[in-house]
């Protein structure tokens, strides 16, 4: 789905004005890249029409395996010199091949730690050809790109906690983003998503994809894993891919911090994205990973204008609310 959330600052509060979504065209994105620009323009125009939004300023979240994220240390230096130095070293930092032109890469950075001896910096970049179609898309519908960021990087705006892990369960990909001591610890995009669960249910229950989606929306995962009369292999292996990928990532953090259990370093894992609404997914993950799992309600981080009814599938708006909060904090 394409999600649009509009917030307005009122004193200290971020007030929710708009929350709307529209289906992503079937071939709109491929692995986080724009692949059907015309289809996306149409969908976005529709979303803008139905949402009744007011602002044109957009904070856009990107989820893509090819985004480059590096932590580097540099000798202490003033901000201006740092920018020039990074420009000079960006090829090495990102390990760009000699025939890739540095001007084809866009990047930004943030200083994580500044001591007398060194600067610890996070550098995030991507090839321009990833970002240009997004700019064209926004411009074509009259929106103004204000900030581009990795979608998950804005999720900590929703929860004030030192150590936290977000798992965004999307339709085509799953993103794991963790912070330790309020700082970037890991960002990983797994090539597993809700469409694969749908496919698994379709085989297990011998029904078509739209009936499989309905079964997914109305039943819990235990039921879906046990009951179908058809082949359960695909559904089981898809769920195993989720569990394996999330476990591996969290266990890497545990090992780095020399802890004996994941729960020692990560008190809470927050599920975001549409498939966070799949009933019982949280319980299976809690059991397998041995950590507390919470389903994200991004609207608890904002104020509401009137007694407006919030959507039942609130978790689907997690990234959008996080990004809008980030926009207000700029
Ligand atoms: N109530 C629900 N129960 C289970 N799954 C749901 C529910 N509502 C939506 N979904 C699933 O959520 C997914 C859409 O969520 P979302 O909008 O977060 O994905 P996306 O951002 O479009 O995908 P991606 O992040 O992979 O690009 C679909 O797979 C859909 O089947
Ligand atoms: Mg998504």
Reported confidence tier of residue 305, pLDDT bands at 50, 70, 90 = confident
Q: How far is the C-alpha of 324 from the C-alpha of 50, rounded, in Å?
A: 19
pLDDT for 319 equals: 98
Taking the CA of residue 151 as reference, the ligand 1 atom at the shortest distance is 25
Q: Which of 273, 297, 298 has the most ligand 1 atoms within 8 A of CB, as the residue to mutate? A: 273
The share of the chain scoring above pLDDT 90, in percent, equals 87
Mean pLDDT, residues 300-307 taken together: 82
Average pLDDT taken over every residue of the chain: 94
Mean pLDDT, residues 93-97 taken together: 86
pLDDT for 231 equals: 97
pLDDT digits (tens, 9 = 90+) for 60-77: 999 988 899 999 999 999
The CA 77 to ligand 1 mean position distance, Å, reads 45
pLDDT digits (tens, 9 = 90+) for 254-287: 999 999 999 999 999 999 999 999 999 999 999 9
CATH of 160-295, picked from 3.40.980.10, 3.40.50.300, 3.40.630.30, 3.30.420.40, is 3.30.420.40
Residues with CB under 5 A from ligand 2 (ion): 170
Taking the CA of residue 172 as reference, the ligand 1 atom at the shortest distance is 26
Whether 159 has a pLDDT exceeding 80, the answer reads yes
Between 61-65, 102-106, 226-230, the lowest mean confidence (pLDDT) is in 102-106
Mean pLDDT, residues 173-181 taken together: 96
Does the domain at 68-127 match CATH 3.90.105.10? Answer given as no
Whether 102 has a pLDDT exceeding 70, the answer reads no
Domain ranges of the chain: 68-127, 160-295
Mean pLDDT, residues 312-329 taken together: 95
- What residue ranges line ligand 1, CB within 6 angstroms? 1, 24, 63, 170-173, 193-195, 213, 216-217, 273-275, 277-278, 313, 316
The CA 172 to ligand 2 mean position distance, Å, reads 8
Mean pLDDT, residues 163-170 taken together: 97
The CA 322 to ligand 1 mean position distance, Å, reads 17
Q: Where does the chain show beta strands of DSSP type E? A: 2-10, 13-22, 29-30, 33-34, 57-62, 68-74, 105-114, 119-127, 144-150, 164-169, 174-180, 183-190, 268-272, 292-295, 303-304
pLDDT for 168 equals: 98
The CA 170 to ligand 2 mean position distance, Å, reads 5
The CA 256 to ligand 1 mean position distance, Å, reads 32
Residue 325 tokens read as: 């909060």
Mean pLDDT, residues 19-47 taken together: 94
Residue 305 tokens read as: 């204008």
pLDDT for 53 equals: 87
pLDDT for 156 equals: 96
Closest C-alpha residue for ligand 1 atom 9: 274
pLDDT for 100 equals: 64
Closest C-alpha residue for ligand 1 atom 17: 1
Return the ligand number nearest the Cα of 298. Answer: 1
Between 92-96, 143-147, 202-206, the lowest mean confidence (pLDDT) is in 92-96
């Amino acid at each position: 789905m394409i999600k649009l959330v509009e917030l307005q600052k009122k004193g200290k509060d971020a007030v929710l004005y708009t929350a709307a979504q529209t289906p992503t065209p079937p071939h709109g994105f491929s692995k986080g890249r724009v692949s059907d620009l015309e289809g996306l323009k149409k969908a976005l125009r529709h979303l803008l029409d139905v949402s009744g939004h007011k602002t044109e300023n957009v904070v856009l979240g990107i989820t893509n395996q090819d985004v480059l994220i590096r932590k580097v240390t540099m000798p202490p230096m003033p901000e201006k010199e740092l920018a020039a130095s990074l420009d000079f070293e960006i090829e090495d930092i990102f390990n760009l091949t000699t025939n890739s032109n540095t001007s084809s890469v866009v990047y930004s950075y943030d200083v994580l730690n500044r001591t007398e001896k060194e600067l610890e910096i996070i550098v995030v970049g991507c090839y321009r050809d990833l970002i240009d179609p997004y700019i064209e898309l926004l411009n074509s519908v009259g929106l103004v790109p204000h900030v581009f960021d990795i979608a998950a990087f804005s999720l900590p705006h929703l929860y004030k906690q030192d150590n936290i892990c977000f798992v965004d369960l999307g339709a085509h990909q799953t993103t794991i983003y963790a912070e330790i001591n309020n700082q970037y610890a890991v960002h990983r995009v797994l090539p597993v998503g809700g469409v694969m669960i749908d496919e698994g249910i379709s085989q297990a229950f011998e029904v078509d994809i739209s009936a499989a989606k309905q079964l997914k929306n109305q039943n819990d995962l235990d039921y879906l894993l046990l009951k179908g009369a058809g082949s359960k292999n695909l559904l089981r292996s898809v769920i195993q891919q989720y569990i394996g990928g999330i476990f591996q990532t969290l266990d890497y953090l545990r090992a780095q911090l020399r802890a004996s259990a994941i729960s020692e370093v990560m008190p809470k894992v927050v599920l975001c994205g549409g498939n966070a609404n799949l009933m019982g997914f949280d319980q299976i993950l809690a059991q397998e990973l041995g950590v507390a799992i919470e389903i994200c309600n991004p609207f608890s981080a904002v104020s509401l204008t009137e007694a407006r009814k919030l959507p039942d599938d609130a978790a689907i708006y997690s990234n959008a609310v996080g990004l809008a909060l980030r926009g207000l904090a700029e």
